[in-house]
Amino acid sequence: MPRSRIDIPETIHYLSILDEHGVLDTELEPQIDDKTLIALYSAMLLGRRFDERMLDLQRQGRIGTFPPIKGQEAAQIGSIFQLKSTDWFVPAFRETAAEIWRGRSLESILLYYNGFNEGTIIPADQRDLPMAVPVGSQILHATGLGYAARYRGTDEIVMTYFGDGATSEGDFHEGLNCAAVYQAPVIFICQNNQWAISIPLKQQTHSATIAQKALAYGMPGIQVDGNDVLAVYTAAQEAAERARNGDGPTLIECVTYRVMMHTTADDPSRYRDDEEVERWRQKDPLTRFAVYLQNKGLLDQSREQEIETEVLAKIQTAVDSAEKQMKTLGEPLDMFNHLYAKMPPSLQCQKEEVRQYLANNTGEVHHG
């Protein structure tokens, strides 16, 4: 009856390939073709510029409250690139760059943040869930999707995203536990941006890392430099292979930083110093990736300018088109639609009540 050490099969690694100064570990460098590298860069830049434009629009009162993603582009784009269109994407609410990569239109994002239900319509061929605002709640859906994908004999995998704060919710623990129990093909991406509104990571968990929580559930976990797109890409590639081979789920902790406010309604000066933010701004994911591409001879000033111009044009077109669409949307009677497969009689009555009310009170004719 000894007191002996129990060896737990996994260990936790930290992975960094391209550091904040743009210095590369050539041994760890993933083999990615030139076209894909430029696609990664363009997707990150689009995420960045669209975020900046949304902030302008919000400040001008042209969209409502939204959560900026600035600084988290590598964590999102490096990971989402591993999904095929037949795989499933289960976002939280701060994955705008990943959502765009999956095919969500910029217009739909603008509609959503302008309070139009039309902004959550998902194209029929897209295997994406809508954003989940209740923190951590979507994690279990990913596990269920993964289970179903296996049950139905497909080779689909599932990738879900959440923040550091979400790891405190019961749903996170239940989702990981069940995924491991069923060896479901799910990749859990934690965007550890150090803050959950005003709560810093060290008040969120007493664990040294988030990655190590994977060990408790018997699945591999890895911590990566979340501002290093090559590291995120590599870790997600390994996890995707594992999932596709039937070897179960993985937890990836992307260490990154929320350089902006939590949402546009938040005032971070109440709870954190600018110095800390400034330090993280120096670790910007786009800057170092641009240096990497320059060193590889894939990006020079004119190419950079070209991509920038393309991205800005795409954003402008979307803003114009969304603002035009908004003028024709907003029929109030539509709010009754899509609640049930078949509208129950009681709801039809309520809809009719509103139709008559609006007709008598505004003189407008409604065709919801």
Ligand X SMILES: Cc1ncc(C[n+]2csc(CCOP(=O)(O)OP(=O)(O)O)c2C)c(N)n1
Catalytic residues: 258, 262, 271
**What's the min distance (Å) between Cβ of 209 and ligand X?**
15
In angstroms, the Cα distances linking 217 to 150, 172, 174, 248 are 20, 11, 10, 12
251 touches 42 (CB < 8 A): no
The full DSSP string for 126-169 is --BPPP--STTTTHHHHHHHHHHHHHTT----EEEEEETGGGGS
Scanning 27-35, 50-58, 176-184, 201-209 for contacts with other proteins by CB under 8 A, the matching segment is 201-209
Scanning 6-14, 151-159, 298-306, 322-330 for contacts with other proteins by CB under 8 A, the matching segment is 322-330
**For binding to ligand X (CB under 6 A), which residues are involved?**
94, 133-135, 162-166, 193, 195-197, 258, 262
Residue 243 phi, psi (nearest 5): -65, -45
Of 151, 182, 220, the closest CA to residue 12 belongs to: 220
What is the per-residue binding string for other proteins in 78-117, x denoting contact by CB under 8 A? ----------------------------------x-xxxx
Closer of 107 and 164 to Mg ion (Cβ):
164
Give residues 110-149 in contact with other proteins (rule: CB under 8 A): 112, 114-117, 119, 133-136
**Looking at 37, 80, 196, 260, which residue binds Mg ion (CB under 5 A)?**
196
- Applying CB under 8 A, does 166 fall inside the site for other proteins? yes
Environment class of 230 (CB within 10 Å of its CB; exposed 0-12, middle 13-18, buried 19+): buried
- CA 91 from chain centre, in angstroms, equals 5
Choose from Mg ion, other proteins, ligand X, none: what does 334 bind? Cβ within 5-8 Å by kind.
other proteins
128 touches 88 (CB < 8 A): yes
**What's the min distance (Å) between Cβ of 172 and Mg ion?**
13
Closer of 297 and 345 to other proteins (Cβ):
345
SS3 percent helix, strand, coil of the chain, rounded to 5, is 50, 10, 40
Look up residue 133 and give its two tokens.
């605002």
Look up residue 186 and give its two tokens.
């799910």
What is the residue type of 37? L
Scanning 202-210, 213-221, 280-288, 297-305 for contacts with other proteins by CB under 8 A, the matching segment is 202-210
Other beta carbons within 10 Å of 327: 7
- The contact set with other proteins (CB under 8 A) reads 64-65, 112, 114-117, 119, 133-136, 165-166, 168-171, 196-199, 203-205, 265-266, 270-271, 326, 329-330, 332, 334-336, 339, 346-347, 350, 354, 357-358, 361
